[in-house]
Each structure stands twice: as structure tokens, then as C-alpha cells.
Structure 1
Amino acid sequence: MTPIGIQAQSIGWIVAATTFAAAVFMLDLITPPWTAAPMLYVLPILLTWLIRGRGIVAFFTVGVLVFTWAGAVFSPGELTSDVTTNRIMASVLLIVIATLVSRQKQLTQQRKAGREALQESEERLLLALDSASMGTWEWDCTTDSLRWNERQFELFGLRSEDFHGTGDEALSRIHAEDRSRVDAAIREALEEGVTFRDEFRVVHADGSVRWLFGSGRPVRDEHGRWSCMTGVNFDITDRRRAQEKVQKQNEALEARVYERTAALIEANERWDWVVRATNDGVWDWDLLYGTAYFSPRWKEMHGFQDSDALESVQEWSARIHPEDRHRVLGALDQYLEGKQSRFSAEYRIQKKDGTYFWVFDRGIAIFNDEGRAVRMVGAESDVTWRKEAEEALRRREYEFRALADNVPAFFSYIDRDQRYRFVNKRYEELFGRSHEELIGMSVQDLLGQDGYAQLQPFLDQALAGEPVSFEYELTLPGDGTHYLAGQYVPDRDQQGQVAGLFALLTDITALKSSEALLREREGQLRDLGTRLLRAQEEERRRISRDLHDDVMQRMGTLTLDLYGLASLMSSEDRGLVSQLKACGASAEQLTTDLQQMAHQLHPSVLEYVGLEAAARKHVNEFAARTGLTAEFMARDAPKMIPLDHATCLYRVLQEGLQNVHKHANATTVLVRLLRSGRGLGLCVQDDGRGIEGGDVAARRKGLGLTSMAERVGMLNGTFRIRTKPGDGTEIHAWVPLEADGRDT
């Protein structure tokens, strides 16, 4: 009913009430006092029930009371005590009845308004459910019966005629992996009287699977027991799929937010889901009125409470960091003037507590027909963590660059395509190219075909996952040849695949020059040593020959003369004869010593019977002289070998046995002379105390090891020592032999 109709109806009731009151007054005047009692009791009460509205009831009651007592005053009859009592009782009864009727009409109006509000709410709910595509259900847990709306059947992929309305039947449609969980959640909600909420899958008759969100609340019966549950379901399949693809579709989702701002504002629930999914703060700026809306998430990001009033854009712009404000506001003006296609900026902004944090802000405007922006909507993301990570990365890159540029080496990173992705300063200086020129250049383009051919095997090996070390020559135009020592170390990604390699090159040109000079000096020293040893052997041979051919001959003659002179002396000169014989014996011993000395200086037996016989003889003499157990073993030794080779091994034997006698504290010595490969080897092994590892180099000179090694080295042989404290010592010497000199 319209307000005009209500007003007219109220006026009609007032006129009727006034007319009725006047009629009562007239009847009261023309009737005897006792006849007014029924009229005073019955007619007002009946009419009070018929009058609509509390205000009219009150008005009517007051009017009747006034006319009732006025009629008593102006009535022609006598105003007796009974009449007065009746009128008092009628007045009280009328007041009580009017109060009760007024309360009853108030309750009636409230119930009617409640029914109308309930009906309107139900209509809105049905409209909302239809708009949101929600299914409704009611489960009577005492009878296990279900009531569904049409949308609920669609959500479960069923037809109403195929559904028997039981809870078990509905539960059987839920995916097997979710069924027990959903059943337990519903029963728990019933037992504890709490709201049930869950997400689960249902399997349609055609085998397709859909995700649903279910929510239900238990309801008590008249005995206070939870007897049933009502709830809603809606399809969230798209949202579940969107959650799985949210990373890939973030930009597309953002574009949809900009494109469908108006539609999303009207669909508040969907808008809320999008905002929550992106975890961004949303703002809405009305450029016509200069007001702005900031979402609860935006306020939370900025340290404000949701109840804090923030409706001015100036409040936002004033909080932008002074170093960023001009840039951000300039970009915003450029966009609003149509000079940029979109607005986006990263900047620092002040929180409520005064601290700053980094945000990524972007927005899109709505323009009117005149091309003027009238509204702008956007979203803001907290990117402080990314900015801090970028700053840390820049700092690490700077530190790494500083370290790489100051390393005395050439450092680079090469990807799987064999292109440079990083080079240090020394790399740029070596090739005379800038950093920009080198980055992205291939190894082949930088080194040329010849230089690349040297490195290709090492590159392939490193990119196959194996570290490699190498040396190579690099010839640069105008800079000569550089000798480089390189190391390639594979770089593997998180999956263990080789993504590239780290290259470390060291310029060893000076080292190579030093090594060449050292080899030259070593060659000169070796030649000098060879000449010295040969001169020594020649001098020993000469001295031995002189002793044998001259001194020993004369000593022999002297010995014979002394013995002859003693035999010519008379028996009377016994003392002189004894002295002569003693001198003869001394001369004879001296001759023997000279003979041994000559043999030590140059064993002539080497020239006549060969190395094997000479070595065996020397070992036997050593055993006899020292009392040690000495054994000699020869295998496949050539009968005749060059004198230089024989002399070399013989001197090693002499020096080795002398060391055993003086230093080894041994009891047994084994000497082996063996042909090995294309050479001849000699080994002197004892069971003595051995030599400490640190003492070998220090005692080489004192033990004669240096001279042994030099002798063997003159013949391009090898010399080594094996020793262990308490486990004896082995001396190995090997010299090469010509093929035609091995057997005779």
C-alpha cells in the first residue's frame, strides 16, 4: 500500500471513531443511566478489536472515555453510585483492553513485518543462490533423508528422478579419496554443533570429476538435540584449477582485473576472491571527487587498521619516499595525460610507524568520452623481499666482480653454447676487448680456428661433466705468444645437468721461460758433470795405470831387494836381518795396498771379464771384509756392455755397499743385476734401519747419492731410492743399452 493510501485509511478510521464516540454520547444522553452499561462495555471493546493501528486505538479509547464521562454529567438521569462504579469499571476495562489490543496489534504488525522481511530475504537468498549457482541441501540425520534444490542435482551430476534422497547415496557420489574425510567432518560438526566447511570432489555419472565447496550448520529440534543440518554447495572446479595455474596465469589474471573492474566491483564476492588470491592491496581512486578507497589488505600492508579512515590521494602521495616521489607522480601524470599506455612503478612508501618498504604499484584508468580520466583502479604488491634480494645480489655481484678483477688470473664463465657470459678485467686486458664485446661472443670467434682447435677437446670434456686441467699456447696479434695453464670446472644446475663451465687461466709465460732457462742450465750442468766424471774416470784410470806400471813395479823391486839384502847378511846381524825382513814385509803389504787402490780407482776386470764377474767379485770381497751376509744375483745380464755403462753401475755398486757398511746397520745385503726392457738395472737392497723420509734429500750428498744419480743421469738412465724407517733401503739404477750391445 502506498503512503497516500495509508494516510487516507487512517483518516477514515479517525472519522469513524469520532462518529462512534458521538453516537455513544447521544445514546448516553437519551437513555437511562442503567442502559448505558452494556453499551459502555460491549460496543467500545468490539470496535477496539476492529480498529487497525495502535495510534487510532489510543485515540479512540481517549475519545470514548471523554464522551463516557461527559455523558454521565449531561445525562438526564440521576448519577447514582452504581452508575459511577460502572463507568469507572468500564473506563478501567477499556484502558486495559485498549492496552492489550494495542500490544496485540503491535505484535501482529511485527509478525507481519517479519513475515514480509523473511519472504523478501528468502527471495533475495534464492536470487543470490541462483546468481551464485549454489546448491542447497537439508539433511534429516534421524531419518537419513536429504532434500536438494535443482542446482544441487546439477552439481552432483544427477537427475532428481534418479536420486532416492539418502545421505549414503549422496556420500557415494563423493570421490573415494575424499569420502571418509567429508563423512568424518560432517559427523564431527553434528557432534560439536559447529559449522561444517570442506572442499571435496564429486564424480558425475559420465566419469568427470568436479570440485565443490560445502558448508553446513546443524539445527536443534524441540528437545535441543542436533537433529538436522542445512547447507549449501557451489562448484569451485575453476578456482581449484586456477590455483594450480596461478603462477603461470598471474599476468593474465592481472589483466582481467584491469579490464573487468566495473564488473568485479558489482560482483563483490568474486572481487574479494581475486584480491585474496593475489595477496595485493587494492585501491580505487575517484578523480572527479578526489576520494579514494583502500582495501583492508592495502591498509594492512601499510600498517593501518581496517577502521582507519584513508580517503585522500594526498595521504598516499605524501608518504612516498622523497627520492621516489617526483618519479612516481610524474609517471602517473604521464599516464593520465595519455602519454603512456599504462601506469606501473616501483617505489618506497612510508608505513604508519614511519618505516619504509618497497611496493610495485600498477593501475588502469577509465576515461570518459572527452578522454578525461574519471576513475582509476589498481593493485599494489609488497616487493620488499625482492628488492632486498636484488640489492643483496648486486652486492654479491660487486664483491664477486671486485674479487674476480683482482685475482691474478683470467677468469670467465662459458655456457653450454660455448659463449662467454662473464669475464674479469684481466680477460679484457689479455684480448684487448671491452666487456660488452666479450659477453655473448663464442670461444671460436674470440680465439680463431687454430686457437679453438687446441681447446675444443677440453671444452667438450668439461661440458660432458668432467673437470679438466691443461696447458696451451695462445698467440695474439702484436702481443706474441702466451703460455697459459687452464682449468675447466663444470657448472651443474639443480637437476644435475651441466649448464656451463668456469674457466680459470693463468699466464705461465714467465714460468715457461724460467723452465726453459733452467733446462738449459741443467743441460749445461749435466754436460759439465759428464765431462767431470769422465775426466775423473780418466784420471783414475791414469793413476791406476801409473801405480800398476810404475810404482807397483818399483815397490816389487824394492821388496825383492830388501828380502835379498836380508838373505846376504850374516847370522851375527840378526837384529838388522829382522828389520830388513820387516821392511820387506811392509813393502810387500804396501804393494798389495797399492794394487787394491789401483783396482778401486779403475777395476780393469771390467774391461776383460765384464760387469757381472766384476760385481760378483766385489760383493764377495765386501762380505769377506765386513763380515756381512752378502748375496749376488744376476739374470740375463749381457756379457759385454759399453765400458761407460759398466763403470757407471759398478760405481753405484761400490757406493751403495759402502753406505750399507757405514750407515745402514744391516746384517744382510742382496745385490741384483737384471736386464729390464732395453736396459740393464742394478739393485742394492739391505735390511738395515732405513732412512727417514725427511733425511733423504738432506743426506743425498753425504751418502754419495748425488754422485750416483749424476752418473746414471749422464747415460739417460734412472735412479731412485726406496726406503722405510726400520725396513731397510733399496737403491735402483737403470741405464739404457743399445740393441746390438745386449748380447755377445
Structure 2
Amino acid sequence: MIILILNTHIWLLIYMSSKNSPIADTGRSMSLSLEALANIGSFQWDAQTGQLEWSEHLFNIYGYEPYSVPLSFEFFLSHLDGDNRQQFLNALYTNSETGSEYQFEEYITRKDGSQAILLSNIKPVLNTQNKLVKVLGVCRDVTELRKKDEQLTNQRAFFKKILDQLPIHITVKGQDRNFKLLNKSFLDSMIKKIENESQENETIQLTAPKDIQEMMEQKDHQVIESNQEVKFDAWIPNVNGENRFYSIIKKTLIDENNEGKDLLTVGWDKTDEHFLEEALRENEERLSVATRGGKLAIIDWNLITGKVTANDRYFEMIGKTRENYTPNFDSFTNSIIYRDDHELILKTIDSVFKNKPETYEVEYRVNHPAKEFIWLSHKGSLVLKNNEPYRIVAVLQDITYRKNYEDEITRSNIRLNNIIKSAPGAVFTFKPDEGFPVLSLSNQIMQLTEYLPDEFYPEGVLKFEDLIHENDRIVNREIMIKTINEGKSEFQNSFRIKTKSGWEKWIWMKAQISKNEMEEDVLEGFLVDITDQVNAEDRVISAALQAEDNQRQRISEEIHDGVQQTLISALMGLQHLTDIIKDKAPEVLDQYQMALSTLKSGVEETRGIAHSIMPKSIEDFGLIETIEQIIEQLNSNTITNFQLYQNLDNERMARKIEVSLYRIFQEAITNINKHANASEVSIQIRKSRDVIIMNIEDDGDGFDYSEIDQLKVGFGLASMKSRAGSLFGNVEISSSPGHGTTILIEVPISS
């Protein structure tokens, strides 16, 4: 309103100053005073003569001494930046046809090269023939105002980021009781996004059932009518259908325009605390503890100035008042931090400054006047400016009750204590780019890989993906890319890694696929060591396979030494009767020949069964000759051409190695005959130094190996891996649709 009045006066004074009179002099003087007061300059341009006049303060705004340069319309245009110049001319041309006053924002370059923004009110003056004769203007320097607007926008974004990082649900409703603000925690847990076919934008829907929503609306009315804070607890299902226990506070707030009251709702997920309390009551009847918790303290530390600001809850939490304590880093480390955690805090701050993580977490104790100490959970966010630490904003929560509960549970329930203490795996945030660049990585990665978090790319040179076994790495990346391309929100797989000391471990990786602030895909999840689980499964399968081999051996021997010998004896006895009955009637001879033929078939069938169960040739002649016999039979009985290449000749290996390699070969050939539709199959068995290598390759249909979870393969593939694993060997399988399948087995001879 003040600027509008000044503009009106300046229009009048411009008109007065154009007259030659004492009043005109007075007008000029008043105009200069008003312009300096409001940082406003004025101009007039004679469209017929081309003469341009500036007020003294307009010269100052442009960075010139008053009347120190000759003025022209072209001189003025030369100060406008790029497209802004043409926009000015277009606006002038359009409004000059009607003589309408208009407003235009000019982006100018001052004499010293600095940039400025002017908000100009421009009035074209027309004669009686509606021809432009003069243009009057008032220009206000709004450069600083625009900077403040930008700062305000950045500040709002900054506090929105804080709200989104808080581990609580926050919503604000306006007077119309529609949502004005929903933080990320609430959106992720309570809102289901629905694509509306008739609208471009998606709508949101609360996942809570109708009775819960009605209860929340009743609480809203209670707060509004009483104008008092309301606290209550409720079980509310989240987007996954899981019932969660929340402590909720509702209160009114004056809105940003001071015109009405908004409704603030804050909710804490206390499900874990709730179950902890139940466990304590069950295990220790003397304990009847309920947490009051939930309130959070916020501190904002400006690393440039050293100034620390904090909300009232912070002072209440540490037992201080604003009158007797001024928060700063020195007083915090010297008098607030509990003595045993002093070094922890210094190391944490040093790590934050050094590693520059986006977020960090630490738990520590602080001194308290009413007790020896209290426990705080500290979750901080580091803000960088020019890639250097600029400020730290942290959320603090009193977790003393949780620490006390954990101590009680440790004494009363060791099993529960182990569960609480063994939070498995390492938490990570990766980019899905090649190498898995690390955005954040918890210290548990040391237990998995023996490497420190800061050794991983991009902070270090080590790429996490390089630790993954070569074959698993390719499959893992294919599964991940396919999951992302299909728009799925979750990715999981298992693979092998090699630790710093050379040990091989099985890792289970589970991650949520989300977007960062730049709309780039990121993987956020955890890595768990499942080596013991895999080894246990391998041992079970290996034991089962060994038992199967023993049983096969026993059955094969029983068939060979028992049933088969009996049949052979019967056959020989029957053949002995040939000369005796040769003079019998033809129908008797036919029955005899039929019985003889049937008995011969029985002998051959029992010999084949005994051979398939456990080839005696393995014992007598070894692996190579046994496989050669099978290949000869396959080439006679199938349309597939099987070829064997080997350099072992008659060299024999340990029975366990020969039996295991034979079973792997047998399983592979069975799969090829059943599924591959192959025309050529190559089997290579060769000795290379102290390793036996068997390679089985077909040109059949192949399959998508990325579709197979390494821990959930069929029993056939699992038995191959387990048989090789029992010999300290490896099985690698590579396949793709239309390109056949290759199975590579490596077994050390020493096994």
C-alpha cells in the first residue's frame, strides 16, 4: 500500500516537474526525496523527439552518477538482459496502442557489471489522435526483495526437509479440514496412491478403515471446540496392512496469514516399545512400566558462526533453562556430555566432517541434574554449502526408557536380549549404477566384508559390486535392472562375495527402489550374511546325496549279486533244455522260445537298472570309460549328437570324485534330454594342474538364468552345486534364451 501511494505521488510529481515554475522545482525536490526513501527512480521518454530523461535516483540505481552519461532509448535497452529486452519492447508496443498503464519486471546489468531487478510501472501517453507521444515510468529496485523471496523459499524447503526426516507422522489441516501438509513418514505409511484414469494427476487415499477415520475426525472437532491439546493412543493399519500402535497429539495452530486456525497432528509409531513393555510384563511381573515419550528436541548448529539454536523441548530434556544455559559446542562437550561418551561424540563429529554423510545417527548419554545421566538418540542431517559442511540439524529423542528396558530384558530374558542385540546385516543406500556407488553405508559392512564404509566408492576406490562373484555379479545386475524396468518397488537376491582376507561368503540383499531429490533411482536396504544358512543347506543336501549314493550302491549290488544272478541261473537252466525238447510239438517249442526270450529281457533289464542306479563300470573301469559307454548309447538312441573330449585317458581318481562327477554329468544329460531340444552336446573332461574341469555345453533352447534365485534353484541344480561343494569345488551355470547352456565344474584333485 505504501509503495502504491508513493507511485501515485511520483506520477504526480513527474507531471509537475515537467512544468517550468516554482511549483515544478518543489515537485522535483519532493520527487527526489520520495525516490530515495523508497529506492525508486522515474523516467520519461518523448516518443516524438526520442529524448529520454531519468531522475537522479534512477541514475544511482543503474550505477551512474546523476547526468554523467547521455541518455537514449538505445542506451536504456543495452542494459536489459537477453530475452528481457525483446519482452520489454513487446509489452511497450502492445500497451502503447491502448495507452494502458502496465507493470514490467526488468533484469538489468549495472555499470559495474552487477545484476539488478527493477519492477517498473509504465504509462504510455497518447495524443488526441491516439498516437504515442510520451512514456512515463516509475522503477523500483526489488533486487534485495527478490533475494529475500528466494531465501524464504529455500528456508521453507529446508524445514520441509527436516519434517520429512523426522521419524514421526506430521499433518496439518486448514480451516476447510483438507490437508495442507503431509510429511514423508506419513505419506509412506498411511497414504495409498491411486491412478485416476480421468485425471492426469494421481489422487491419495487414506489406508485407515472408516471407523479409525471417524474417530480421528471426532478428535479434530474436540480440539477445535476446546482449543486445547488432545493426546491419545490408537492402533492404525499402515499401507502394508500391518497394525501399528501410535501415540498421537492434536492441537490448533495460527495459520501463516494469522487469519484462522490450522489443525496440527503429530503421531509416533510406538509399536516396538509397546511390545517391549508387554515382554517385560510377561517376564518380570514386578515391572509395570509405561512410556510417556514421544516428544522430540531439535537443534540447529550453524557451523560457520558456531551459533546453536534449540527448541524448548531440548532444554527440558537436558534439565536446563534458557536463562542458565546457552547452547554451543564447547559447553555441550565439556558439561553436557556424560564423561564416558565424550570421545564417542568427538569421533562422530570428526567422521561427519570427514565423510560428509547426508545423515548420521548416534546414541549417547548426557548429564542431568535429577539423575546421573539420560540416554539420547541423535539423528542428524548435514547440510553442505559449496561441498563443505555448513549446518547440522538434528532430532533428539530421550531413549532412557528403552535403554533401561534393554538392561532389564538382558537380566531376565537372554534369548530376547540376543534378538535385540543381533540387528543383522549392514544398512546401505546405493545408486544402481555400475559398481553400486555408495550414498550411505552402516559400519556393519565391516563384519560382512572386513572393509570400512569409507573405503567404498565414491569416497574410496573400492566398488562394492567388484566384491561379488563374477557369475553372480552378472545375474544380480540383470535381476536388478529388470526389477527397475518393470517398475517394481522391491529388489532382492542372494550372491557370493569375497572378503578382504579372501573368504567367500553368501550374502542376501534386499532393497527398496526409490527416487532421491533429483528423481534418480536409489537402492535402500540391507545386506545379511547367510553363509551359515547356505552351508547348512549344503550339508543337508550333501548328506542326503551321500545317503542316496550309499543306498544306490547297496541296491545295485543286491540286484547284481541277488536278483540278476538268480535270473542268469534260471536262464542257463532253461537254455540247457534246448536239446531235450527240440523234438517236441511246435506249440511247445514256441512257448519255450517265448519264455527264454522273456527271461533274457529280464536279465538285460536288471543289468540296466543296476547300471543306472550305480554303474559297476565306475568301480571297474573308472569315470571316463563309463561316460564313453553312456555317450555311445545316447548317440544310438537319441537324435542329439554327444561328443566327449578328455585328457585323462585311463587315469583314475578317488571314488568319491568319480561318483560325484558322474552324478553331475548324469543330472546335466537328463536336463538336456528333457528340456534343451539340443542338436549338439560337447562334454570336456580335462586335468589342469591339481584341478579336474568338466565342461558340458549344448546348443539348445537355453533359459533366463536371472530368473533363478541362487538359493532357490531346483533340486537338480542344487544337487550339482552340493556335490561339487562337498569336494570343495564349484559349479557355474550360464544360459540365456536361444543361446544354449554351459555348465562348468571345477573340483580339486586333493579333495
Q: TM-score range by the shorter chain?
A: 0.3 to 0.5
Q: TM-score, normalised by structure 1?
A: 0.38
Q: Which structure has the larger Rg?
A: 1
Which has the larger strand fraction? 2
Q: TM-score, normalised by structure 2?
A: 0.38
Which has the larger helix fraction? 1
